[in-house]
Amino acid sequence: MQVHRLADYRDCEAALRNTGLRQALYDAGEVITKDTLLVLHGEAHQKRREVEIRVFRRNFFKYYEKEVFPATLEETIAPFVAAGGGDLIELGYRLTVNLTADFAGVDRPARTPEETAQLIRLVKKMSEGATMVHSTRDKDELTAEVREALAEFDRDFLQASIARREDLIAQVERGEVEEDTLPRDVLTVILKAQDELQFTQAQRVREIGFYMQAGSHSTANSVVHALEEIQTWAGEDQARWKRLEDPVFVQHCVHESLRLHPASPEAWRKSVCPMSVQGAGDMPEGDRVELDLFNANRSEAIFGSDAGTFNPDRDVPVGVMRSGLAFGIGVHVCLGRELDGGLVAKPGTDPAKAQFGIVPLIVIKLLELGARRLRDDPPTPDTKTKRPNWGRYPVKFTKEIA
């Protein structure tokens, strides 16, 4: 097998759209990723995607942003506000794990801090498993830990969530309740499509576990990267801090940070047949193509001479996302892209009419509270992975919200 490395933006974009290349980055983490939507290819992927995309009915993202998330945000951030700050990694996970659980279909009947802490612990371990290719730990030891986490997740969360939804689906089929009373989540749609999918329980655990770790892990890290970039950019410039009072501008800041810090700094693909790949040339079946998304998103040819720096006022070419390739593109584009990043609003848009996305909304709230790094307790990187993530990020809140 030959490895081809691509870093040009247009080459990476073309490779992501190439249906002759299958997902390969997550093969090492098959303990959780095996047979999930993330790694399926071709007809199998299309069939699974067609089922799961049913959860995204009209106005789904707007409904979550306007109806579900505000209460979750206020409830989760309250103890941190009372304490005057805290670890932003922990806050991010607490916010996103509950939101992702609602979206994925994982019930939390107790609604206690202990229950949330257990779910966060399990999700973090599943995230370690999914990104095993970049882990600095012993792979066999980590695989065993992930298996234990999946078993605990199944026993303590998923089995009861399945049972409740199967009962509700049966009530709909008997005509006792209307179908629009069913939960709007991934678990419900795959249970309704059981005849199509023929999921085993192990596949259900991996599929929902994949959604839980993907939604929580990437969103929490994106929040921290965005706040770090914003603080560094604003510095001591009060005019810049004043601009950050505009939520539409903050959304632009977040998308600029997403460009610089994609959730996965690279994507791997394997050729499923002999083919020609833009930027790599002819290759036989089984060759690997590694897409350097981190550097592709910093392409000066696409984003200008200052592409490697944070510039929220950046003009981007027509047809190019402000976040670059951060959410992927093509058949494996992130299903939660609109939920996480919203719809990019034009300057001057009425904030009441904008769909900001979860990450911008969290950052907007943090800025309202005056979130700042601690000079005597600086943030530290996550040493368990080769990915450029933060391990801890202590902040203090310097403002009070009436």
Q: Is residue 287 part of a domain?
A: yes
Q: Is residue 52 part of a domain?
A: yes
> What per-residue confidence (pLDDT) applies to 254?
97
For position 149, which CATH number holds? 1.10.630.10
Domain that holds residue 267: 3-374
Q: Is residue 204 part of a domain?
A: yes
Q: Which residues contact 234 (CB under 8 A, 6 or more apart)?
A: 240, 241, 244
> What per-residue confidence (pLDDT) applies to 400?
67
> What per-residue confidence (pLDDT) applies to 58?
62
Q: Is residue 390 part of a domain?
A: no
Q: Is residue 392 part of a domain?
A: no
When divided into structural domains, the chain yields a total of: 1
Q: How far apart are CA 308 and CA 75, in angstroms?
A: 37
> What per-residue confidence (pLDDT) applies to 96?
85
Q: Is residue 92 part of a domain?
A: yes
> What per-residue confidence (pLDDT) applies to 369?
95
Q: Is residue 100 part of a domain?
A: yes
User: For each of the chain's 402 residues, which pLDDT tens digit applies?
Assistant: 899 999 999 999 999 999 999 998 888 889 999 999 888 898 898 999 888 888 876 677 888 888 888 888 888 899 999 999 999 999 988 888 888 898 899 999 888 889 989 999 999 999 999 888 888 899 999 999 999 999 999 999 999 999 999 999 999 999 999 998 999 899 999 999 999 999 999 999 999 999 998 888 788 889 999 999 999 999 999 999 999 999 999 999 999 999 999 988 999 999 999 999 999 999 999 999 999 999 999 999 999 999 999 999 999 999 999 999 999 888 888 877 888 898 898 888 888 888 999 999 999 999 999 999 999 999 999 888 888 888 899 999 998 654
> What per-residue confidence (pLDDT) applies to 95?
86
Burial code of 94-133, b = ≥16 C-beta within 10 A, e = fewer?
bbbbbbbbbbbbbbbeeeeeeebebbbebbbbbbbbbbbb
Q: Is residue 383 part of a domain?
A: no
61-65 LR contacts (CB < 8 Å, sep 24+): 61/338, 61/339, 61/342, 61/355, 62/355, 63/184, 64/99, 64/102, 64/103, 64/339, 64/358, 65/339, 65/342, 65/355, 65/356, 65/357, 65/358, 65/361
